[in-house]
């Protein structure tokens, strides 16, 4: 009788362990399904119009379609990965234009990397609609993310930047109703899924001017700024 009770207890414990393992497997499967769903939504949320041809560009050069406004931008390579690099000097503001010209309906996205030096910080960002259009930029010295129209800050939010890490930025312009356009900026950590929540936005009542997208950088930290995965997508209507 005693042996029978022991066997029954062992059997019950085994059943409990099997149930726990089964539940863990189910939760793991659910998490994988959620991750896959978010990936599909992010992949198909917009139609790709342009990708900067960095991988097929010679080191020391820039893609043929790049219009360098100023600055000694060039393709560099590290650990087998190519990227666009802006040198740490001179200390000024530099940019590159590329891709299709548009007034609305497009989105630029890019990965950007920078480092600080002492108490000096870089400034970097992405822009739409030409030189005097809209720019989403990281301003670590002010601990903020800023949205600019031309040289004027039209929106900003607090942000604590981490030196030596890649960030993803996106900026889009969509017409939301008659005589109103929404400028939408998002910033998120590399390797993470693009957030559904907007980081910064602005309601524009004047029709945006047509112009090309661009990337910008000001190496005030006297260290290089790097850019990769530069895309222009058609936003979803």
Best CA proximity match to 232, nearest among 143, 123, 107: 107
Q: From CA 55, how far away is CA 76, in angstroms rounded? A: 10
Query: If 0-12 CB within 10 Å is exposed, 13-18 middle and 19+ buried, where does residue 26 land?
Result: exposed
pLDDT in 10s for each residue of the chain, 237 residues:
555 444 544 555 456 656 666 666 676 655 545 444 444 444 444 578 999 999 999 999 999 999 999 999 999 999 999 999 999 999 999 999 999 999 999 999 999 999 999 999 999 999 999 999 999 999 999 999 999 999 999 999 999 999 999 999 999 999 999 999 999 999 999 989 999 999 999 999 999 999 999 999 999 999 999 999 999 999 865
Strand order of the β-sheet with 123-128 is 67-70, 94-97, 214-218, 123-128, 134-139, 144-149, 152-158
pLDDT tens figures, 74-125: 999 999 999 999 999 999 999 999 999 999 999 999 999 999 999 999 999 9
DSSP 151: T
The tokens describing 32, both together, are 């994988």
Number of neighbours of residue 73 by Cβ within 10 angstroms: 23
Locate tokens 């039209």: which residue?
Answer: 154
């Amino acid at each position: 009788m005693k042996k029978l009770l022991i066997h029954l207890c062992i059997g019950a414990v085994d059943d409990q362990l099997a149930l726990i393992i089964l539940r863990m497997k189910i939760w793991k499967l659910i998490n994988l399904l959620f991750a896959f769903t978010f990936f599909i939504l992010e992949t198909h949320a917009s139609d790709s119009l342009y990708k900067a041809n960095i991988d097929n560009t010679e080191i020391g050069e820039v893609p043929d379609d790049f219009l360098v406004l100023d600055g000694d931008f060039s393709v560099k390579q590290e650990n087998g990965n190519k990227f666009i690099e802006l040198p740490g000097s001179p200390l000024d503001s530099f940019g590159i234009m590329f891709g299709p010209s548009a007034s609305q309906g497009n989105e630029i996205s890019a990965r950007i990397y920078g480092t600080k030096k002492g108490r000096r910080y870089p400034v970097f960002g992405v822009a739409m609609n030409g030189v005097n259009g809209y720019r989403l930029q990281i301003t670590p010295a002010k601990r903020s993310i800023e949205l600019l129209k031309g040289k004027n800050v039209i929106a900003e939010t607090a942000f604590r930047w981490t030196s030596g890490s890649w960030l993803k930025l996106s900026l889009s312009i969509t017409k939301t109703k008659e005589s109103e356009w929404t400028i939408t900026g998002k910033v998120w950590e590399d390797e993470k899924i693009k957030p559904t929540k907007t980081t910064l936005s602005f309601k524009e009542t004047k029709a945006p001017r047509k112009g090309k997208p661009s990337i910008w950088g000001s190496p005030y930290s006297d260290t290089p700024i790097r850019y990769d995965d530069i895309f222009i997508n058609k936003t979803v209507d």
